[in-house]
Structure 1
Amino acid sequence: MSKIMFVFGTRPEFIKLYPVIMEARSRQHEVVIVNTGQHREMLDNLLAELDVTPDFDLKVMTRQQSLAEILARTVAPLDDVVARVRPDHLFVHGDTSATLSGSLISLYRHVPLSHVEAGLRTYNKHSPFPEEMNRQITGVLADYHFTPTEVTRQNLEREGKDPNRIFVVGNSAIDMLRYTVRPSFRHPVLDELGDRRLILMTVHRRENISELGQMFAAINDIAVRYGDTHKIVYPIHMNPVVRQAADQYLTAPAIEIIEPLGTTDFHNLLSRSHLVMTDSGGIQEEAPSLGKPVLVLRDTTERPEGVAAGTLRLVGTGRDDIVREAVRLLDDPAEYARMAAIQNPYGDGTTAQQIMDVMDKVASDEGKAAAVPAESSLPA
């Protein structure tokens, strides 16, 4: 079997690589896990919850690092690890500094690279920043592109990627829900809802920092209007700028600000929510699998399939726009039901299995090629 290295540094990356790691282990591949440590507490809690101990922890994060410092502190230690381990294959996910670092080291060390969640594009290098260019650079370096949808496949083909190295497999975020969503789940947030419905929100993106005032003012307007029938729960990001803006604008009694949730807690609250308002990425894929309409609080999204299908509604960051679209769903049960019933375009929960089917075939083909004698050594 192959020696496969998985490189990640944030909780969202691990959430989407975990099903692939588990599938690789189930097929008896040797799995090597490298955590660059870009996220610390949130990721460590999830690793402990799922009983995963990384083989290497690079611990790159220090307070108030720049993007350049994060990358610089990752590349050289990761190069040392790859040189020592000598994996047959290296996996990265998505669009983080760990993804970019792993991609560069796979090039430097001549290790075949697989990119999970490949092909997402806005073609605006500043939105999302720096994720868009991390994705594009990784796409240039990857040998195998595991892409969620036909739209993302077409992005890669237009960029000149080899069609025989592109595989439409859905998104492994859907696979992860099988490990986390539990019918018997209990949480104080749910106990305190009473007869009210849950609106779950997340806001944290770097490019939205300057828009927090109007975004949070819109959320507060919604909470005031629907406070008798709905409760807005906000697991707040650790960024102190986000927290300061939340303290200033999110004052309605129907808003509950809580500390960041573990993945299992978040997925289970998501499964019991009525509506989701977010500027996050992965939630745009997860919520539709659970039948939850999503208002995307961004001006662009690298997940246009959900917008086209109707599971997502791109509403921007303006106060009036956010309120108008929330009212539209909350006041019109038919419109809500239509959006909630649309099939998720991001897959059926078999992504990890499909990825490892490809990897097993790659390993088999490489083994067959290695078994064929070189032409010069063939008998006359």
Structure 2
Amino acid sequence: MKKVLLIFGTRPEAIKMCPLVNELKGRKGFETTVCVTGQHKEMLEQVLTVFDVKPDYNLAIMTKNQTLEGVTAKILNLLGEVLDEVKPDVILVHGDTTTSFVAALAGFYRQIPIGHVEAGLRTHDIYSPFPEEFNRQAVGLVAKYHFAPTEESAENLIAEGKNKDNIYVTGNTVVDAIKITISKEHSHEAIEWAKDSRLILLTAHRRESIGEPMRHMFRAIKRVIEEHPDCKVVYPIHMNPVVRQIAAEEFAGVDRIRLIEPLDVVDFHHFMDQSYLILTDSGGIQEEACSIGKPVLVMRDKTERSEGVKSGSLKLVGTDEERIYHEMKELLENPEEYQRMHHAKNPYGDGFASKYIADILEANL
């Protein structure tokens, strides 16, 4: 019986790790333990409930106005006790969060093998996105098993000198999650509000977007909506009070732009499924949208999901107001361009990434 410890702490991590948790728990050869750090609180708990995952440990580190330094120190101090009790044969972390970086570091200090789920994503700019690019590169330094979602991610790792024998292309576990969360029976009041219009789903929260870049995003969107009466925007707004203030100021008086509270993963995936177009500065949404054929305008200067750009599902538009305005208009007014993005091939796997990862661990542990 091999002991596997999965450590995660944010909503996006949970969406992508819970299918793997359940895959491992369904196999007799593993003793599977889940530790959440609570880097997110309510948003994390929503996802755990949807996937029926009950953590064995919850470090509950989230506090008001928490800093990166505080999060890092708390997790590192508390994880030691967990590792002493569980004594895992491998620690699995996901992606690029502070939780992932610190969990990998804690495992490294104990010389416990690290498995990195969603390994190899790169912008090659340590400050973009911040601090995610550092986090994922740092995890890659200590990981033994690199579970890359695409061939391009694997090539990034090989270029950095990682051992080819330890790199496995598995697809992305977010495709596994979407297979579970989307159903025909779902309904939501805000989807009903937009049902006679083309629904544009907006997310914007990234640290480097806050301030003037975010104002530019919102002004472009407002201009487009004012010119297209057949469109409505739903914005599940982040909890950050600065983001909320900017949105309230820029979208004031526009009745076809609706701000709603953050959605649980089931609701959010259905909003994506019902949308005509998605605008985001997020990372994981880029993969999720590719999986259901929705065109995405990525409001960032760089993306680590370049496969989606190459496939044609994503378009990188930065944070310039005029660029966002014109790219939105193009997709709303040019059916050929819209259909080209809508029918682009999904580069992120077949929905069995969790199975492939579990198979690899069975063969190697």
- TM-score, with length taken from structure 2: 0.98
CA distance in 1, matches of 2:164, 2:35: 29
1:208-227 correspondence runs (5 A) = 208-210=209-211, 211-226=213-228
CA distance in 1, matches of 2:322, 2:7: 41
CA distance in 1, matches of 2:318, 2:296: 12
1:126-205 correspondence runs (5 A) = 126-205=127-206
Equivalent residue, structure 2, for 1:325: 327
Letter in 2 for 1:11: R
Q: Identity, % of aligned pairs?
A: 47
Deviation, 1:345, is 0.8
CA distance in 2, matches of 1:202, 1:41: 18
CA distance in 1, matches of 2:195, 2:146: 46
The yes-or-no answer on 1:122 pairing with 2:123 is yes
CA distance in 1, matches of 2:189, 2:314: 28
Deviation, 1:45, is 2.1
Equivalent residue, structure 2, for 1:378: none
Q: Which structure has the bigger radius of gyration? A: 1
Deviation, 1:193, is 1.9
Q: 1:194 and 1:358, CA in 2 relative to 1: closer, same or farther beyond 3 A?
A: closer
Equivalent residue, structure 2, for 1:12: 12
Equivalent residue, structure 2, for 1:315: 317
The yes-or-no answer on 1:63 pairing with 2:102 is no
Deviation, 1:194, is 3.7
CA contact (8 A) 1:219 1:250 kept: no
Letter in 2 for 1:250: F
Equivalent residue, structure 1, for 2:25: 25
The superposition leaves residues 108-145 of structure 1 with CA deviations (integer Å, 9 ceiling, x where unpaired) of: 11211100000011111110001100000100000000
Give secondary structure in 1 for the equivalent of 2:177. Answer: helix
Letter in 2 for 1:138: V
The superposition leaves residues 46-88 of structure 1 with CA deviations (integer Å, 9 ceiling, x where unpaired) of: 2223322210111111111210111000001101101111011
CA contact (8 A) 2:172 2:349 kept: yes
CA distance in 2, matches of 1:225, 1:349: 39
CA distance in 2, matches of 1:237, 1:164: 40
Deviation, 1:338, is 1.0
CA contact (8 A) 2:201 2:272 kept: yes
Give secondary structure in 2 for the equivalent of 1:233. Answer: strand
CA distance in 1, matches of 2:215, 2:321: 9
Structure 1 portions without partners, runs of 5+:
364-380
Letter in 1 for 2:219: A
- TM-score, with length taken from structure 1: 0.94
Letter in 2 for 1:14: A
Equivalent residue, structure 2, for 1:377: none
Deviation, 1:161, is 0.3
Deviation, 1:36, is 0.4
Give secondary structure in 2 for the equivalent of 1:16. Answer: helix
CA contact (8 A) 1:83 1:109 kept: no
Letter in 2 for 1:347: G
In the TM superposition, structure 1's runs of 4+ consecutive aligned residues that sit over 6 Å from their partners are none
Letter in 2 for 1:160: G
CA contact (8 A) 2:4 2:92 kept: yes
Equivalent residue, structure 1, for 2:356: 354
Deviation, 1:230, is 1.2
The yes-or-no answer on 1:297 pairing with 2:266 is no
Equivalent residue, structure 2, for 1:259: 261
CA distance in 2, matches of 1:195, 1:235: 19
CA contact (8 A) 2:235 2:257 kept: yes
* Coordinate RMSD, CA, aligned: 0.9
CA contact (8 A) 1:16 1:176 kept: yes
CA distance in 1, matches of 2:195, 2:311: 33
Give secondary structure in 1 for the equivalent of 2:232. Answer: strand
Deviation, 1:5, is 0.4
CA distance in 2, matches of 1:266, 1:238: 15
CA contact (8 A) 1:93 1:115 kept: yes
Letter in 1 for 2:209: N
Equivalent residue, structure 2, for 1:334: 336
Q: 1:321 and 1:53, CA in 2 relative to 1: closer, same or farther beyond 3 A?
A: same
CA distance in 1, matches of 2:62, 2:148: 29
Letter in 2 for 1:302: E
1:242-253 correspondence runs (5 A) = 242-251=243-252, 252-253=254-255
Q: 1:198 and 1:78, CA in 2 relative to 1: closer, same or farther beyond 3 A?
A: same
Give secondary structure in 2 for the equivalent of 1:129. Answer: coil
Letter in 2 for 1:308: K
